[in-house]
């Protein structure tokens, strides 16, 4: 691939990305969901569970679930963005993109990028709640949070593309979303500490890529973490690269 081709591919990728962002800006229900979801978890669960929660590190429950709620908004937004591939297939727009002179890899990469961008915006919505629930924030923390959120979102969006490229019906995706999104969220260490749970549950949480994402977010926000930070970072980078490669490979062979 020479330089001119590379520029063209980048422009195509940018087009796919831009379209999704323009659509997101108009999608009031999704923006509303981004606000109501964290409110629900922080206000109801956070306040309700607070008095009965005792962690060894002495962290209050609200502080404990805060990174988990960020991760939840990231994972929801990421998977919803990936779902749009199925909509595009059903409503015909995917064909317009597939017959355009751009590579399938650029389409898949553009989708992963737009889904992640939207998810980071949704993650920032949760971050904006921090003063309200007395989670201390600094400018440096926010600067560290953004790339970490992007990495988590990139993994989840790529996973969503993998699923979406195998699916032609929306119903099937909904089922899998429920069997993927919710378990990933519950088993991420975002809602309860992972040190007192039975071994079988521990194994599942350690296999969950979101666990390392939540751990990294928690380290940034409160300095508390379970795994070495270098390991979290390595795992998140490795897993997002793996998922992107898989997403691109599967999208190439997905039906028109």
Partner 1 sequence: MIQVVDLVKRFGALQAIRGISFQVKEGELFGFLGPNGAGKTTTINILCTLLTPTSGRAFVAGHDVVQYPTEVRRSIGIIFQDPSLDERLTALENLKFHAMLYHLPRKKTGERMEMLLDMVGLSERRHDLVKTFSGGMKRRLEIVRGLLHYPKVLFLDEPTLGLDPQTRNHIWNYIKELREKERLTLFLTTHYMEEADPCDRIAIMDEGRIVALDTPAALKQRVGCDTLDDVFVKLIGHEIREENASGKDQLRDLHKKWIGRMR
Which stretches of the chain bind partner 1, using CB under 8 A?
8, 11-12, 14-15, 18-19, 22-23, 26-27, 29-30, 32-33, 80, 83, 87, 90-103, 169-171, 174, 177, 256
User: Cβ 37 to partner 1, closest distance in Å?
Assistant: 9
Distance CA 102, CA 97 (A): 8
Closest distance of CB 166 from partner 1, Å: 16
CB-count exposure of residue 36 (10 Å: 0-12, 13-18, 19+):
exposed
CB-based burial label for 232 (10 Å; 0-12, 13-18, 19+): buried
Residue 73 or 148: the one with the smaller Cβ distance to partner 1 is 73
Smallest gap from Cβ 41 to partner 1, in A, equals 15
For partner 1, the closer of residues 94 and 153 by Cβ is: 94
Nearer to partner 1, 92 or 198 (CB): 92
Q: Which residue has the tokens 């195509």?
A: 12
Closer CB to partner 1, 64 or 79, in the complex: 79
Four-point Cα dihedral 9, 113, 181, 211, nearest 10: 120
Q: How many angstroms separate the CA atoms of 167 and 175, rounded?
A: 11
CB 255 within 8 A of CB 168: yes
C-alpha span between 40 and 36 (Å, rounded)? 6
Least distance in Å: CB of 171 to partner 1?
A: 6
What's the full length of the chain, in residues? 256
Q: Which is nearer to partner 1, 100 or 203 (CB)?
A: 100
Closest distance to partner 1 from the beta carbon of 114 (Å): 13
Give min distance, CB of 23 to partner 1, in A.
Answer: 5
Q: Are 119 and 157 in contact (CB under 8 A)?
A: yes
CB-wise, 86 or 135, nearer to partner 1?
Answer: 86
């Amino acid at each position: 691939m020479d330089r001119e081709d590379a520029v063209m591919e980048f422009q195509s990728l940018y087009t796919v990305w831009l379209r999704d962002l323009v659509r997101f800006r108009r999608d009031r229900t999704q923006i509303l969901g981004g606000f109501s979801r964290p409110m629900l978890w922080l206000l109801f669960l956070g306040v309700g569970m607070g008095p009965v929660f005792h962690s060894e590190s002495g962290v209050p429950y609200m502080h404990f679930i805060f990174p988990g709620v960020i991760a939840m908004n990231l994972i929801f937004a990421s998977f919803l963005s990936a779902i749009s591939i199925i909509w595009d297939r059903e409503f015909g727009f995917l064909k317009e993109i597939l017959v355009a002179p751009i590579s399938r890899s650029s389409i898949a990469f553009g989708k992963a990028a737009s889904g992640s961008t939207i998810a980071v915006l949704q993650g920032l919505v949760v971050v904006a709640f921090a003063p309200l629930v007395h989670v201390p924030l600094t400018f440096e923390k926010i600067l560290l949070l953004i790339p970490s959120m992007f990495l988590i979102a990139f993994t989840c969006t790529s996973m969503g593309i993998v699923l979406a490229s195998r699916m032609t019906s929306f119903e099937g995706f909904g089922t899998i979303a429920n069997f993927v999104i919710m378990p990933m969220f519950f088993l991420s260490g975002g809602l309860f500490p992972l040190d007192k749970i039975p071994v079988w549950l521990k194994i599942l949480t350690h296999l969950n890529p979101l666990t390392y994402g939540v751990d990294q977010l928690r380290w940034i926000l409160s300095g508390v973490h379970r795994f070495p930070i270098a390991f979290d970072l390595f795992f998140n980078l490795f897993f997002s690269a793996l998922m992107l490669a898989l997403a691109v490979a599967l999208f190439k062979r997905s039906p028109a």
